[in-house]
Structures are given as structure tokens and as C-alpha cells.
Amino acid sequence: MDETKERAETLMSWEENVRKVTPYVPGEQPRIANIIKLNTNENPYPPAPGVRKALEILAGNTDVLRKYPSPTCDQLEESLGKYYGIPRENLFVGVGSDDVLSMAFLTFFHGNKPVLFPDITYSFYDVWADVYRIPYKQIPLDENFEIHEEDYEIENGGIVIANPNAPTGVAKDRDWIDAFLSKHKDVVVIVDEAYVDFGAESALPLIDKYDNLLVVQTFSKSRSLAGLRIGMAFGSAKLIHYLKDVKFSVNSYTMNQPSLMLATESIADEEYFRANLEKVIATRESTKLKLKSLGFRFADSKANFIFATHPNKPAEEIMQALRAEGIIVRHFKKPRIDNYLRISIGTDEEMQRLVDVLAKIL
Ligand SMILES: *Cc1c(COP(=O)(O)O)cnc(C)c1O
């Protein structure tokens, strides 16, 4: 008997008090050697060299681990504040942007009106809404995966937009976000910018204009630090204050000492960061041309992945055939997007191997 069936058949009375939820399913982290891993949008290049040096220093001084880390993430917040040119009162740091977004849902969406987000977007939003019992409504994107802003002009308790969107890669410019925000001043609007560094425009300059705007970013993709778990949010002092009140009511010491130290090193090396981004962007653009000539169709991505479909072969079959050749890409078994593959941008060599294998299996 499968586990779900067993649970349903023997419901004990204490189980009526359980907070039941269907969890988010993250992309696979296979423990197979020599695969080409293009399924979870990790950066193919290592983090800044200073991160390694800081790790070595830490290894020689493990005594720092004896003490609790700074609950207010002093060093990291200071370096982020300097880097982005904003005061600390406008800054929030969390355990990856998933933690930041989860805290933001818990803090800002506490009413009876539905929170709005696109039907095709980061598939964690509806899970957080479910777990925190937040009503929500998914607004359909059009057939080109574009947002129609007028669809959001309905009663709502908040809005979440990923920009560039995931898993489509479609980006809106800052003027569009500005015009959108000007119509939604009465609810908190979250702009999830997990991929913004790969060539989209950040809404960060708009936090002074709109005190209800929360911009969320991460070290996971553009800074090659998915394993460290660092994310951050920018917003008005009032917004950040509310967010910190909730965060400090759940867990004071979310950020561990090594990640605070290493993230600071990543911020310090701007040159490495820019060079890394340029490489990924150049590979993305050359991969677009190659996929196009193989017959793939996709929206123009500003992220470190391409969301592609092929007219002649079902996505799931392509995914299986790639897997048999040691290349892992992401397929979502969901309405409207089940004939698409989300292909992360790896190194030039990895993408050439992908293209060669695709040419063979199509
Ligand atoms: C990857 C991703 C995140 C979460 O990243 P973290 O590793 O938790 O920082 C958030 N939003 C979107 C749209 C993502 O793709």
C-alpha cells in the first residue's frame, strides 16, 4: 500500500489537528558522477576566489563556531548596504530567497482577499499560500507567457511577480513595474528577482517611490552560492521592520556564521561577479541560436535558463532521452507547460554537448 493511501485510511483523531499541506518538490540533486546538470539553474562557475580564502581562514579558526552568529547579520548587511547604496533599515537577509519569500508571505499576506500571481510562475508561491492559509488566485499568462497587467485590477490582498519570470525567463522593464506599482499602492507587491543579474532591470530604485514594494534577490544563481543559502529583500523601512518582527518571532539565528562570512567575500569581488555573469549571458545567447536551428521554440529569456518546446517531439521524451545520455534538464508535469523543458545555462562545453545530443535524438 502506498503511504498516502495508508495515511488516508487510518486517520487518527490527533491527525485532525495536523497542518496538512502538499510540499513543494525541488529539482533533483542526483548523486551520479559525470552528469551534465542543467535542471536547477545553478551557476556552472565557482564562487569568487575570496570565498575559498574565507573558508580556509574559517577552517583554521573553528572557535568562531562556538558562539552564536550575529542575529542582525551586521557584517553582511553593512556590506550589502554599501554595495547597493541603501541604508540597513531597507535591508533584510534570509536563508536563501525561499526563506525571505516565505517570511514575506507570512508577514504581509494576512487578510481575506486573494493574493495574486501568474498561473505559470515559481511553483513555491501557491505552496506558501497553502501552508499559511492565505487565499490566492492564479492569473493566467497569455500564450506567449506574457502578463496582462489589466488582469490584476481586481480586489486583492497582495501581488507576487517573478521578474524575470520562472520558469519562462520572460522579463519586464522597470518602467513597466513602475506603472504596475502605481496602480497597486494599497497592498504589498513582491517582486522576486532571483534571476535579475542575468540581464533584466531591477526594481530596486523604486523602493523609495513605493513603500509597499518588496524586492527579493538571492546569492544562489548569479553568485554561484546556492549551497550557502543566502537571500535578501529590499523595501521601505516600515516594510522591513514588519518583516523583521515576524522573522525574530520565528527564529533569531537563521543565518549561520560561515555563510555570513562567505557571502561578504562574494560581495567584495565585483570584477569576478561581472565576468561570471558575462560568460553565462554569452553562453545563453549562443545556446538560443543553436536551439533555434534545431527547431526549438522559446520566449526570449533574460535568466540563466531557456524554457523551450519542440514541435516534433514531446518534452518528456526529450527529457528521458537526454537523461539516458547523462544530461539532466527540468520538466514540469503541469497544465500548459508539460510540453516544455527548462534548460539551465551551463558552460559552453556542456551546452555544446547538449546540442550535439539533441541533434542526435530529435
Ligand atoms: C531559485 C529561485 C528562488 C529561490 O532561491 P534561493 O536559493 O532560495 O535563494 C526564488 N525564486 C525564484 C523565482 C527562483 O527561481
Helix (H, G, I), strand (E, B), or coil: what is residue 3?
Answer: helix
Are 104 and 189 a contacting pair, CB within 8 Å? no
Residue 25 pLDDT: 87
Ligand 1 mutation pick, 97, 128, 168, max ligand atoms within 8 A of CB: 97
Our separate counts of H helices and E strands in the chain read 11, 12
Q: Which of 25-34, 77-86, 202-211, 228-237 has the lowest mean pLDDT?
A: 25-34
Nearest to 219 by CA among 341, 96, 327: 96
Name the residue with the closest Cα to ligand 1, atom 12.
194
Q: Which residues line ligand 1 (CB under 6 A)?
A: 96-98, 122, 162, 166, 192, 194, 218, 220, 226, 231
Ligand 1 mutation pick, 24, 93, 98, 266, max ligand atoms within 8 A of CB: 98
Cα(122) to centroid of ligand 1, in Å? 8
Look at the block and give the residue holding cell 520566449: 299
Ligand 1 mutation pick, 101, 165, 221, 223, max ligand atoms within 8 A of CB: 221
Point out the ligand 1 atom lying closest to the alpha carbon of residue 219.
9
CATH number for the region 30-44+271-361 comes to 3.90.1150.10
Q: Tens of pLDDT along 184-232? A: 999 999 999 999 999 999 999 999 999 999 999 999 999 999 999 999 9
Cell of 330: 527540468
Look at the block and give the residue holding cell 521554440: 297
Q: Tens of pLDDT along 240-287? A: 999 999 999 999 999 999 999 999 999 999 999 999 999 999 999 999
Close Cβ partners of 126 (under 8 Å, ≥ 6 residues apart): 117, 136, 138
Cα(193) to centroid of ligand 1, in Å? 8
Point out the ligand 1 atom lying closest to the alpha carbon of residue 218.
9
The helix (H) or strand (E) run that includes residue 308 is strand 305-309
CATH number for the region 49-268 comes to 3.40.640.10
Name the residue with the closest Cα to ligand 1, atom 5.
97
Ordered by start, the domain boundaries in the chain are 30-44+271-361, 49-268
